[in-house]
Amino acid sequence: MNSIGTATEALINRSPFLREAMAEDLINISALARKLQPDIEEMMGKKVNEGAIVMAIKRMTPGLYQRLNMKITNMMGDLGDFLVRNNLTDFTFENSDTLKTAQTLLFETISKESDSFFALCQGVTETTYVLQERHSTLVEKYFAKERMKSHNLNLSSVTVVLPNLNNEIYGVYYYLLKHLAWQGINIVEIVSTSTEFTVVVRQADVESAFSILMQLKRKL
């Protein structure tokens, strides 16, 4: 059977934003206890006193989040170059036996241009290509027989060069994405490599996205 402390922590951990707000002392503990009380009573199978929930919340160890947050915040100061690209578009096609042939033709043509941007994300049932709008005619040519599932215009991207340490710290992408989410920036696509993190957004949002990510670097 769950203890009150275990049940309380399990519920709170379902919402990372809530855990962060608690670490910053932005949450009214009594109000939170009242909100959690019905769920905790259901988990415990009995009535639970609000005061016991308050005590369970106060006894929770914030150390993990705080240590993690400190590591990531320090790492943000070591972010490398930022690169913004405009006039992008994306295409998503259903995976098929002929898709890779079209993909190869597209890549071979685009790769001849040194300043071109091309990224692909292959899923189980579909593949998305992000490229510059001027190459749209190539996609229409090579993928004419493929089933297109979606197509977005007027996109931009912000690429951030991450320090090698990012592979040793979990939560880095979450840290970056939550700040964009808090400011209402919708992410259309995400592309990442070992030390590069790229978000693709609507062209109207790229200035705000760049500013938000740059501020993270300058926080220190």
List pLDDT tens digits, range 62-100.
555 555 566 677 777 778 889 999 999 999 999 999 999
Task: Specify the pTM.
Answer: 0.73
The length of the chain in residues reads 220
Do 131 and 208 belong to one domain? yes
What's the pLDDT tens digit per position in 137-188?
A: 999 999 999 999 999 999 999 999 988 876 767 778 888 898 899 899 999 9
Between CA 201 and CA 207 the distance in angstroms is 10
CATH classification at residue 143: 3.30.2130.10
Domain count, the chain: 2
Instruction: Tell whether 206 is covered by a domain.
Output: yes
In the prediction, which pLDDT does 69 show? 64
Per the structure, the complete domain to which residue 49 belongs is given by 4-60
- State whether 190 and 130 are in the same domain: yes
147 and 56 in a single domain? The answer is: no
Q: How confident is the model at residue 1 (pLDDT cuts 50, 70, 90)?
A: very low
Strands lying side by side in the sheet with 126-132: 118-122, 126-132, 82-94, 148-161, 196-202, 187-192
Residue 74 lies in a domain: no
User: Residue 192 falls within a domain, yes or no?
Assistant: yes
Taking the alpha carbons of 101, 104, 108, 110 in that order, is the dihedral positive or negative?
positive
pLDDT computed for residue 220 by the predictor: 47
Q: Are residues 87 and 171 in the same domain?
A: yes
Based on the fold, state whether residues 87 and 53 are members of the same structural domain. no
Contact 199, 85 (CB under 8 A): no
In a domain, 66, yes or no: no
Q: What is the mean pLDDT of residues 203-216?
A: 94
